[in-house]
Chains A and B, each alone.
Chain A
Amino acid sequence: MGFYLRLAWRNNLRNKRRTFLAALAVGLGLAALIFTDAISGGMLKGLIDTATGTFMGQAQIHRRGFLNTMDADLSVKDGPLLLGELRADPLVARAAPRALSFAMIASPSNSGSVMLYGLDPEAERGVSRLAKAVTRGDFLKEGGDSVVIGRKLAETLGVELGDRVVITAAAAGGGDLAQALFRVSGIMDSGSRAMDSDMAFIRLSRAQKLLGLGDNFHEIAVDFKNIKTAEDKASPFWKKYGGGDNEAKGWPELVPELAAAKDLNAFGIFLTAAILSGIVALGIMNTLFMSLYERMFEFGVLRAIGTSSWRMGLMVVSEAAVLSVLSSLLGMLTGYAACRIIGIHGLDYSGVDYAGITMLQPIRPVYRALQYWFYPSALFVFTLLVSLYPAVYAARMNPVKAMRRSL
């Protein structure tokens, strides 16, 4: 085998320019695949990170039926106990309790409907980036009836820091309207339209009092130690916390549009790979056939002196293998370099909505081992398969016809 690889290497070097151009063409195909995978992976990572990290969390636990009805009475079953268990669970990094209800918020000049959240500021800091999104004032400082709203809502209501607003919500235990006065203690600019214009945040204890929940709450937001757990339906987490009266959902269920976008992305990569494979196949075959026709006489001589059919084929496949390795090296280097260059500043699509999520950060390439072993390996195997056609042609070559002139 070593002899044939040596022969293949030298044959590839016979026409350096052609070999380089063929390797470059195939390599650029691989580089494009690596780059596409890295960028789309980066975009997905950014979207998932934004969706889960900004406020939602990687998973949520609710009382069964709450998400459909938003009934204030449907608080998480055994919420405080469950929260303690979650915080002790080895799969879970952080957990934050929340109370929530539809509400009206009114200022002296305007009013609007909002989703009212009662939060534990300390627990929330670990799960969401709300505190960091507060650009003016404080994030639910202790004591007092403080409320944090988004910049757009503040503009709609015509309020500033320290101004008073009235929040009205349906309380648990009958749905009586409860009303309380709050003071705007923080204004945030998260970049998410929904959060900046349609949400209001108060302390959990204050929300429990307003809504008559006692020490109960409606939602537990969870971050895992490994985000993959959120997609792993086989994880014991779901059975443990999602059985009975409560339901546990990971981000793919909470934001199905994002899960669909991920599937679409995987299909996009597959499609890209399929198109590039076609181009690679034609490129490799063209190069091998050019090389074969150019050396037809030589192949005839080799056949004449007793080279068997399979050895003739082996020569062609070996040349394809060497070309594939050269192409892979070029492709990996080019793909990596492109990712590094784009990664310096990222692709800035901040503010653009995709799959219902507002992109908040520039898209940066995601490096995965798969890009540098699976794709090149697939290219190698694919090249060998493609080379079988010219290999069979060489193997079936009639020596006299190949040599054109006879002995």
Chain B
Amino acid sequence: MDKENVIETKGVTKTYQSGEVKVHALHPVDLAVARGEFTAIAGPSGSGKTTLLNLISGLDTPSSGKVRLAGREICAMSQSELSDFRRDHIGFIFQAYNLIPVLTVEENVEYVLLLRGVPTGERDERVKRILEEVGLSGKHGRFPSQLSGGQQQRVAIARAMVSGPDIILADEPTANLDSATGAALMDMMRELNEERGMTFLFSTHDRMIMDKSARLVTLKDGRVDSDTRR
């Protein structure tokens, strides 16, 4: 069944050196996420969920163990290869949205396609379509500062999804939103997940996200504490 796993970690650990003290942020973690899964990684602060997401995304390198994404071992990749790999396979949704403030809604979303070398006409079409899907039609010329938090996160979701990546990694995507907006966005992401079959992996504290996820992995002290599918 390995072939169906779009995310796979085997014996992944991460140890930080803090002065003369070694901090074991992650003990050997084995995790497999199948294509199309809608998974939340939960746990208290310091449990290692953020570290795990960093390793899965290739933003950080594990102290030991292996990470396979979309069928490729990423730990041996160079920074340049990792950058290209993230561009082609991973969409990011950040807690603080992290849109480029000097780019309009349309340009923020278009940027990812530009990186992938998508031709202008196709870019325009895809941007228009995804903005409609996330409910931002008519706002394409606005700058992030002219949008509400919820609207900015919708732009971030559109940016993450517009290139059709294999995996969407979302870090506390509702943390800066009120509960109603957060729930609406989660519903929207779930719909997109079901429609497009993209794999979602969340790191969260939010009970609502845990409830809406199809699978909940909890971490405790850098180890997988539970793994529940619904």
- A residues with CB within 8 A of B: 3, 7, 10-11, 13-14, 297-298, 301-309, 311, 396, 398-400, 406-407
Contact = CB atoms under 8 A, between A and B. Distances in A.
Contact of A7 (B54, B98, B102, B112): B102
A304 B115 contact: no
Given A10-B102, A298-B100, A303 B92 contact: no
Nearest to A305: B92
A303 B60 CA distance: 13
Contacts of A13: 102
Contact of B59 (A302, A307, A396, A400): A400
A311 B115 contact: yes
B83 interface: yes
A251 to B, nearest CB: 58
A406 B203 CA distance: 11
Nearest to A6: B107
9 contacts: A301-B100, A306-B85, A306-B90, A306-B112, A306-B116, A308-B80, A406-B50, A407-B54, A407-B171
Contacts of A14: 101-102
Contacts of B42: none
A307 B117 CA distance: 12
Given A3-B114, A11-B102, A407-B203, A308 B53 contact: no
Contact of A303 (B50, B83, B103, B171): B83
Nearest to A402: B59
A407 B57 contact: yes
- Select the residue from B59, B86, B92, B114 with max chain A CB neighbours within 10 A: B59
Nearest to B98: A301
Interface of B: 50-51, 53-54, 57, 59-60, 79-80, 83-88, 90-92, 94, 98, 100-103, 107, 111-112, 114-116, 159, 169, 171, 203
Given A305-B87, A305-B111, A407-B59, 12 more contacts: A10-B102, A11-B102, A298-B101, A303-B83, A306-B112, A308-B80, A308-B115, A400-B60, A406-B50, A406-B54, A406-B60, A407-B171
A305 B103 CA distance: 15
Contact of A302 (B53, B85, B100, B203): B100
B17 to A, nearest CB: 15
A308 B107 CA distance: 18
A96 to B, nearest CB: 69
A298 B98 contact: yes
Contacts of B79: 309, 396, 398
Contacts of A302: 100
A306 B88 contact: yes
- Select the residue from B79, B90, B91, B101 with max chain A CB neighbours within 10 A: B79
A308 B83 contact: yes
A407 B87 contact: no
A298 B29 CA distance: 30
A293 B59 CA distance: 20
B54 A309 contact: no
A201 to B, nearest CB: 74
Contact of B83 (A7, A11, A298, A309): A309
B86 A305 contact: yes
- Select the residue from A306, A398, A400 with max chain B CB neighbours within 10 A: A306
A406 B53 contact: yes
A395 to B, nearest CB: 10
Given A11-B102, A298-B98, A306 B53 contact: no
A6 to B, nearest CB: 8
Contacts of B101: 14, 298
B59 A306 contact: no
A118 B87 CA distance: 88
A149 B95 CA distance: 93
Nearest to A311: B115
- Select the residue from B85, B94, B102, B159 with max chain A CB neighbours within 10 A: B102
Contacts of B91: 305
Given A301-B98, A406-B51, A407-B169, A308 B59 contact: no
A302 B84 CA distance: 12
A304 B98 CA distance: 11
A304 B107 CA distance: 17
A396 B83 CA distance: 11
A399 B53 CA distance: 14
A306 B57 contact: no
A10 to B, nearest CB: 4
Nearest to A307: B115
Q: Which 6 A-B pairs have the closest CB atoms?
A: A306-B87, A10-B102, A407-B171, A306-B86, A301-B98, A407-B53
Contacts of A304: 57, 59, 86, 92
Contacts of B80: 308-309
Contacts of B83: 303, 306-309
A407 B50 contact: yes
A400 B100 contact: no
A306 B84 CA distance: 6
A14 B100 CA distance: 12
Contacts of B94: 301, 407
A303 B57 CA distance: 12
A239 B83 CA distance: 68
Nearest to A4: B114
A215 to B, nearest CB: 83
A391 to B, nearest CB: 15
B112 A400 contact: no
Contacts of A309: 79-80, 83
A377 B59 CA distance: 40
A303 B159 CA distance: 14
Contacts of A406: 50-51, 53-54, 59-60, 171
Nearest to B203: A407
B90 to A, nearest CB: 8
A100 to B, nearest CB: 75
